[in-house]
């Protein structure tokens, strides 16, 4: 296929992904290896984070829209699948506990009991309207795509149509994220407030399958999603469409004068990446086991931007490297596994200091290596840097697009 | 005036109370070359901004084509698709992309996102790009990032992108700035050639350049037309002489 030949990084990436997934599988507990189930889950989750990072790279690195809302789409995807997981599993438990009763329970009684189980923590027992389809896996899977997609479509339509760009757009997306997480924190939001949805690691009807095996299944599903997402993203950014996207990033007005409807391109890419983020979230949270509104807080979306910046934006594998590297290192530091450093007068506990370290590395990358870790690949291949005449696309918030030429 | 491709009439625009364009009227036919001259700040660029939808006038009409559609209700992209191409005063090409990609992006084709997503490289486009590159003398630079080009080459690339769009009206803002005399001559012939089949409006300061274009000249001053006619005619005009010498 000429597409793969023209984008050699795609087959290389897919090959590495396959090798990685196979290696982890063979080393997993399920196959008698030494990797713990929780670590396999961590790796599976990392693949999902890499997928949302690829989406972020599309929207930010290629199109220049610094969205601080993509983790909200990620979380929404998680909530949508979480509703089914929680409903179906609770229903199975209720049915089996009622099976011994003298009089068989009516469907209404079962539903009421499931409602009481799920919403007891927020002092309610009625199903809110948004749980209408929670008993249907197919419907909730549709919602995984539809809810983030529609939200992005409506939000993007309003924002892009009024030509909000740059920092203002970032603030707007952040406001959307904040509003969403604050809403979800409320007990009457219909999604169990700050308790969130839990027990998501237990797939209904799959009690017989040990978590160690389940973790490998999810690893493969996540790898498949990442592979397909990467392929799709590579297809989108290759060829003329990618040219237009990068044109929009560097000089939106000029693209418009060529006759391209810039707003429709932005809306397309914003919505597409929101859907990708939703799918990534729907695969992530069953591995995490729990989702709550704190996951959607704006800081998560900011982290996402940091990953992409550190990995190197404007190249898809950069996003994957950034997400993988930073989130794994972060797991190591915050997991209490990093040795404390005793300075005599003060002990550096990495659990507390990791964020500072991350912030510092972000600043350093911004200043000294604007191409991120992915730039090392250029060094290796000694590819020439484009002469941007000083208008560098450094990963700081302000210098996103080249200064529009003044006429 | 009937038969005009573009008809601008009674247009005014103010920036913070300053009248940059003052009751301006301007017509151009479907296959006509026109030079627009005028001192700095005369409103030449602002005039192009109005026609291309970048600036909305406070009053007046801008009518386009045989059906006399108003351009004032259209956005920049729609105006460009209607057949008006523009070259900016400062060359603005996509510096991060190759000369080839710049030209491919400008080629006249469906501009919708879905259509573009599936527009893949083909021999016909490639040949057209080669041909354009030949016209603007950039064949050997096709695979270079356009940011690496010299100023004059960027000007040409932008002219090439303009031709690639195949517009019915070309608005060309100071195309010869930063060019050597030979490059200027080449640019002149490109523009004269283009004006055989379409309307071309050239804004230029350099009188020698304008003379070589050998076309009707419109003199703008303080946002209005001061004189119109052949170059010799307008340069003999007393008001024009005062405006040019008086600054
Ligand atoms: N967006 C704007 N806001 C405020 N003033 C503007 C704006 N655009 C143009 N002007 C003013 O309008 C006047 C006309 O400007 P314009 O750029 O059209 O002149 P010009 O004829 O192209 O000059 P030059 O030969 O220097 O390019 C100038 O005084 C300029 O300062
Ligand atoms: Mg000007």
Protein residues within 5 Å, CB atom, of ion ligand 2: B 45, 89
Q: What is the pLDDT of residue A383?
A: 57
List Cβ neighbours of A69 (8 Å cut-off, separation of 6 or more): A152, A155, A173, A174, A176, A177, A301
Residue nearest to atom 2 of ligand 1 (CA): B15
On whether the CB atoms of residues A243 and B104 are closer than 8 A, the answer is yes
DSSP state of B89: S
Closest CA to A81 of A294, A293, A289: A289
User: What is the residue extent of each domain of chain A?
Assistant: 3-296
Task: Tell me the residues of A at the B interface, defined by beta carbons under 8 Å apart.
Answer: 236, 239-241, 243-244, 246-247, 250-251, 253-254, 256-262, 264-265, 268, 386-389, 391, 402, 405-407
Contact call for A243 and B105, based on CB within 8 A: yes
Residue nearest to atom 30 of ligand 1 (CA): B41
Contact call for B45 and A386, based on CB within 8 A: no
Residue A75, both tokens:
């979380």
List Cβ neighbours of B99 (8 Å cut-off, separation of 6 or more): B133, B138, B141, B142, B143, B144, B146, B149, B157
DSSP A177-202: HHHHHHHHHSGGGSS-GGG-EE-TTS
On whether the CB atoms of residues A61 and B96 are closer than 8 A, the answer is no
Q: What is the pLDDT of residue A1?
A: 58
Contacts with A, B 78-137, CB within 8 Å: 78, 80-81, 85-86, 88-92, 94-97, 101, 104-106, 111-114, 116-117, 119-121
Contact call for A387 and B147, based on CB within 8 A: yes
Residue A179, both tokens:
């509003």
Residues of A in contact with B52 (CB under 8 A): 257
Q: Chain B closest CA to A239's CA: distance in Å?
A: 6
Residue spans of beta strands (DSSP E) within A231-333: 290-291
CA of residue B169 to ligand 2 center, whole Å = 18
Question: Cα(A88)–Cα(B116) distance, rounded to whole angstroms?
Answer: 43
This model of the complex carries an ipTM of: 0.93
Domains of chain B: 6-87+169-245 (3.40.50.300)
Which ligand places an atom closest to the C-alpha of B173?
Answer: 2
CA distances in angstroms from A253 to A249, A391, B53, listed in the order given: 10, 17, 11
Going by pLDDT thresholds of 50, 70 and 90, the confidence category of residue B1 is very low
Contact call for A254 and B45, based on CB within 8 A: no
The angle subtended at Cα A318 by Cα A332 and Cα A279, nearest 5°, is: 80
Mean pLDDT computed over B146-167: 93
Going by pLDDT thresholds of 50, 70 and 90, the confidence category of residue B143 is very high
How far separated are the first and last CA of chain B, in Å rounded?
34
Count other C-beta atoms under 10 Å from residue A230's C-beta: 22
Instruction: Compute CA B20 distance to the chain's CA centroid, rounded to the nearest angstrom.
Output: 19
Residues B188-239 pLDDT 10s:
999 999 999 999 999 988 888 999 999 999 999 999 999 999 999 998 888 8
More confident residue, B135 or A348: B135
Contact call for A259 and B104, based on CB within 8 A: no
Output the pTM of the full model: 0.91
Question: Cα(A124)–Cα(B190) distance, rounded to whole angstroms?
Answer: 77
Q: Which of A239, A257, A405 sits opposite B120 (nearest CB)?
A: A239
Count other C-beta atoms under 10 Å from residue A107's C-beta: 7
Q: Chain A closest CA to B159's CA: distance in Å?
A: 12
Residue nearest to atom 24 of ligand 1 (CA): B40
Residue B6 φ/ψ, nearest 5 degrees:
-125, 130
Residues of B in contact with A247 (CB under 8 A): 94, 97, 105
Q: Mean pLDDT, consecutive 10-residue segments, chain A of 407 residues?
A: 80 96 94 91 96 97 96 97 95 87 84 91 88 94 97 97 94 96 92 93 88 95 98 95 96 96 98 98 97 93 93 93 90 80 82 84 85 84 54 38 34
Q: What is the pLDDT of residue A79?
A: 97
């Amino acid at each position: 296929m000429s597409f793969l030949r023209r984008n050699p990084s795609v087959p290389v990436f897919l090959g590495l992904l396959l090798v990685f997934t196979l290696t982890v599988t063979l080393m997993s507990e399920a196959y008698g290896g030494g990797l713990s189930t929780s670590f396999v889950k961590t790796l599976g989750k990392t693949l999902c984070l890499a997928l949302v990072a690829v989406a972020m790279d599309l929207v930010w690195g290629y199109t220049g829209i610094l969205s601080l809302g993509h983790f909200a789409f990620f979380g929404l995807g998680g909530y949508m699948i979480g509703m089914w997981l929680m409903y179906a599993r609770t229903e199975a438990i209720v049915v089996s506990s009622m099976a011994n009763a003298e009089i068989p329970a009516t469907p209404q009684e079962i539903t009421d009991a499931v409602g009481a189980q799920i919403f007891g923590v927020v002092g309610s027992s009625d199903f809110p309207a948004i749980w209408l389809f929670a008993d249907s896996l197919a419907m909730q899977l549709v919602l995984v795509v539809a809810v983030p997609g529609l939200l992005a479509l409506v939000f993007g339509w309003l924002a892009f149509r009024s030509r909000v760009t740059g920092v203002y757009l970032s603030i707007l997306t952040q406001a959307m994220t904040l509003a969403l997480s604050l809403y979800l924190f409320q007990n009457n939001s219909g999604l169990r407030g700050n308790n969130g949805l839990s027990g998501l690691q237990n797939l209904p009807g799959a009690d017989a399958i040990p978590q160690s095996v389940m973790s490998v299944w999810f690893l493969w599903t996540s790898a498949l999603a990442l592979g397909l997402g990467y392929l799709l993203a590579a297809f989108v950014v290759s060829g003329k469409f990618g040219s237009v996207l990068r044109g929009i990033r560097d000089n939106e007005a000029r693209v418009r004068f060529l006759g391209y409807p810039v707003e429709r391109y932005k809306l397309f890419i914003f919505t597409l990446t929101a859907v990708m983020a939703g799918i990534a979230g729907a695969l992530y949270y069953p591995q995490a086991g729990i989702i709550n509104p704190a996951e959607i807080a704006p800081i998560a979306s900011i982290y996402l931007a940091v990953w992409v910046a550190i990995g190197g934006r404007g190249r898809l594998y950069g996003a994957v490297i950034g997400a993988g590297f930073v989130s794994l290192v972060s797991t190591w530091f915050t997991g209490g596994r990093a040795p404390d450093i005793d300075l005599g007068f003060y002990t550096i506990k990495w659990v507390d200091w990791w964020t500072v370290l991350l912030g510092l590395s972000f600043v350093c990358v911004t200043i000294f290596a604007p191409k991120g870790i992915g730039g090392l690949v250029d060094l290796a291949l000694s590819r020439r840097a484009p002469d941007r005449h000083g208008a560098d696309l450094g990963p700081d918030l302000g210098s996103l697009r080249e200064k529009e030429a003044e006429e | 005036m009937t038969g005009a491709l573009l008809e601008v009439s009674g247009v005014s625009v103010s920036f913070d109370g300053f009248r940059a364009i003052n009751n301006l009227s301007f017509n151009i036919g479907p296959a006509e070359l026109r030079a627009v001259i005028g001192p700095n700040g005369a409103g030449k660029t602002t005039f192009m901004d109005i026609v291309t939808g970048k600036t909305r006038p406070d009053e007046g009409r801008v009518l386009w084509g045989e059906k006399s559609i108003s351009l004032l209700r259209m956005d920049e992209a729609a105006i460009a698709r209607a057949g008006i191409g523009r070259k900016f005063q400062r060359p603005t090409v996509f510096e991060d992309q190759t000369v080839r990609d710049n030209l491919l992006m400008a080629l006249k084709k469906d501009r919708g996102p879905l259509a573009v997503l599936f527009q893949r490289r083909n021999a016909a486009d490639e040949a057209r790009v080669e041909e354009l590159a030949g016209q603007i003398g950039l064949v050997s630079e096709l695979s270079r990032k356009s940011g690496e080009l010299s100023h004059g080459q960027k000007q040409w690339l932008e002219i090439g992108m303009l031709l690639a769009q195949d517009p019915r009206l070309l608005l060309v803002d100071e195309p010869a700035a930063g060019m050597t005399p030979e490059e200027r001559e080449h640019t002149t012939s490109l523009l004269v050639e283009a004006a055989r089949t379409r309307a071309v409006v050239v804004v230029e300061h350099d009188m020698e350049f304008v003379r070589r274009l050998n076309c009707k000249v419109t003199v703008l001053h303080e946002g209005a037309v001061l004189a119109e006619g052949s170059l010799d005619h307008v340069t003999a005009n007393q008001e024009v002489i005062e405006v040019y010498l008086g600054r």
